[in-house]
Amino acid sequence: MPGPKKLFIKSYGCQMNVYDSERMAETLGAEGYVTVDTAEAADMVLLNTCHIREKAAEKVYSDLGRLRPLKQANPDLKIGVAGCVAQAEGAEILRRMPLVDLVVGPQSYHRLPAMMQAVGQGARPVDTDFPAEDKFDHLPDRPARLGGPTAFLTVQEGCDKFCAFCVVPYTRGAEVSRPAERLLAEARTLVEKGAREITLLGQNVNAWHGGEGGLGRLIRDLAQIDGLLRIRYTTSHPNDMDDDLIAAHGDCDKLMPYLHLPVQSGSDRILKAMARKHTAAQYLTLIARIRAARPDILLTSDFIVGFPGETDADFEATMALVEAVGYGTAFSFKYSARPGTPAAEKAPVPAEVADERLHRLQALLSRQQKAAQEAMVGREVGVLFEKPGRMAGQITGKSDHNHAVHVEGGQNLIGVLRRVRITRSDPNSLAGEITPAP
Ligand code: 5AD
Ligand code: SF4
């Protein structure tokens, strides 16, 4: 008797793709597929792709090239491209890459089983529709066995903001919120299956409007679920931080003191050209209000350097904003012109100038990260243990502020939240000791 069919999924880019990959694996699981860890062991390979910057998009083609010998050795191997490159390039992928069997955009995953059947009959289907139905309504319920104590939950998809540099409104479409009742039900299932921390996901998560009140209200409702210990959310737009969500950071214990709030630039001129629709001063005022609600909150951001027209003075304004905020960590990117976006029409900043700015910004952000980590030494924080550590005898988890924390011993504590006294700051992680249970 043949064994079960084997599926390998590789996720690129953001956490929303990680969540979608889980849901695709579950959908194909209902069709008899089990997931495996390598393409070599698979009968079906799905690349869940990212289109946000040119490098991410091109990586998909080099990875597809690397699958060629596997397909030659096993002509029955099926290869699918999912995600945002699939959405943006559609049938072009089939033309460029004859080894690809199917192309499926992020809103059509519920149609994968039917597409797989078509592939079995020799077709090469492409589905990049934005169907009227919600894909999540057509995906199977979450299965009995899920991964560890942390889980993602997509509450919102798409974006209506149209920042001048960004492909998301084109690849993920208009903002759509999943209804509150569905989310509460899925969260309860996740908790029953062992999740202790849920991260709410959305391209514009704080624009969620799938029920009465906004995201703050949803967070408060989720906080009522027994057994759920922690809530986080990402990614937010500054203009959607409403009063109730800010207040939740002060009065909802389960909402962790961590917020990713991308600003992209500290120059009003560039913010305007990016169509971000707020100024640097408005962002700083917002940060002050959030910190008034939750003084120890750890803030993170995304930055783009070398946006078309960015002058030295504009870049200095970004450096000044970073100095003024003091981030726990942040992501910074060199501007990458994306086809179809308004900014792609404009003359780029010379590459060496952008490189030098990126280098300076990253050096400043690294210093801030180090300072934020060192400020934790001596403090006692909550840590939810997730897995054995890299070193034998260690166990690893995330602190309330989302720092990776390693402790010695405690192998039986996976899935448990304990108080930990931080004893040392290492590059990109903290070390600590579990404090005796009260
Ligand atoms: N070039 C560089 N960075 C980009 N981002 C989005 N689009 C681009 C682009 N064209 C960055 C932004 C965003 C993060 C997810 O990726 O900083 O917040
Ligand atoms: Fe892209 Fe975020 Fe701007 Fe939406 S808000 S267009 S996802 S950068």
Tens digit of pLDDT for each residue in 38-71?
A: 999 999 999 999 999 999 999 999 999 999 999 9
- Ligand 2 centroid to Cα of residue 371, in Å, is 29
Share of the chain above pLDDT 70, in %: 97
Which of 166, 271, 335 to probe ligand 1 with, by most ligand atoms within 8 A of CB?
Answer: 166
Share of the chain above pLDDT 90, in %: 90
Is 354 a residue whose pLDDT tops 80? yes
User: Which residue has the least CA distance to atom 16 on ligand 1?
Assistant: 52
Task: Give the highest mean pLDDT range of 1-10, 192-201, 429-438.
Answer: 192-201
Bridge partners for 431 per DSSP: 406, 424
DSSP state of 304: E
What's the confidence (pLDDT) of residue 170? 93
Q: Which residues, judged by CB distance below 6 Å to any ligand atom, belong to the binding site of ligand 2?
A: 159, 161-163, 166, 168-169, 203-204, 237
- Ligand 1 centroid to Cα of residue 185, in Å, is 33
Is 424 a residue whose pLDDT tops 90? yes
pLDDT digits (tens, 9 = 90+) for 88-118: 999 999 999 999 999 999 999 999 999 999 9
Q: Buried (b) or exposed (e) across 415-435, using 16+ Cβ within 10 A? A: bbbbebebeebeeebbbbbbe
Q: Can you tell me which atom of ligand 2 is nearest the CA of 166?
A: 1
Domains along the sequence of the chain with CATH: 5-127 (3.40.50.12160), 135-374 (3.80.30.20), 380-434 (2.40.50)
9 vs 29: CA distance, rounded Å: 12
When pLDDT is averaged across residues 194-215 and rounded to a whole number, the result is 96
- Ligand 2 centroid to Cα of residue 435, in Å, is 42
Bridge partners for 380 per DSSP: 421
pLDDT digits (tens, 9 = 90+) for 124-160: 999 998 877 777 777 777 765 556 899 999 999 999 9
Tokens coding 175: 């903002």
Is 236 a residue whose pLDDT tops 70? yes
Are 56 and 50 in contact by the 8 Å Cβ rule? The answer is yes
* Burial of residue 265, with CB atoms counted within 10 A of its CB: 0-12 exposed, 13-18 middle, 19 or more buried: buried
406 vs 429: CA distance, rounded Å: 7
Q: Can you tell me which atom of ligand 1 is nearest the CA of 167?
A: 7
- Ligand 1 centroid to Cα of residue 53, in Å, is 7
Pairing of strands 176-177, 156-157: antiparallel
What's the confidence (pLDDT) of residue 129? 87
Residue type, 17: N
- Ligand 1 centroid to Cα of residue 167, in Å, is 9
Distances in Å between the alpha carbon of 177 and those of 209, 211, 231? 6, 9, 18
Is 2 a residue whose pLDDT tops 90? no
What's the confidence (pLDDT) of residue 1? 54
What's the confidence (pLDDT) of residue 118? 96
What's the confidence (pLDDT) of residue 3? 80
Helices (H), 274-418: 280-293, 312-325, 351-374
- Ligand 1 centroid to Cα of residue 69, in Å, is 33
Q: Nearest CA to 318 among 338, 298, 302?
A: 302
What's the confidence (pLDDT) of residue 140? 76
What's the confidence (pLDDT) of residue 324? 98
What's the confidence (pLDDT) of residue 130? 84
Is 249 a residue whose pLDDT tops 70? yes
Q: Nearest CA to 328 among 305, 303, 296?
A: 296
Residue type, 304: I
What's the confidence (pLDDT) of residue 143? 65
Peptide bond into 235 cis (omega under 30): yes
Is 303 a residue whose pLDDT tops 80? yes
DSSP state of 8: E
Are 77 and 45 in contact by the 8 Å Cβ rule? The answer is yes
Using pLDDT thresholds of 50, 70 and 90, give the confidence band for residue 428: very high
When pLDDT is averaged across residues 149-172 and rounded to a whole number, the result is 95
What's the confidence (pLDDT) of residue 390? 82
Quote the pTM value: 0.94
Mean pLDDT of the chain: 94
Using pLDDT thresholds of 50, 70 and 90, give the confidence band for residue 378: very high
Q: Which ligand is nearest to the CA of 305?
A: 1
Is 21 a residue whose pLDDT tops 70? yes
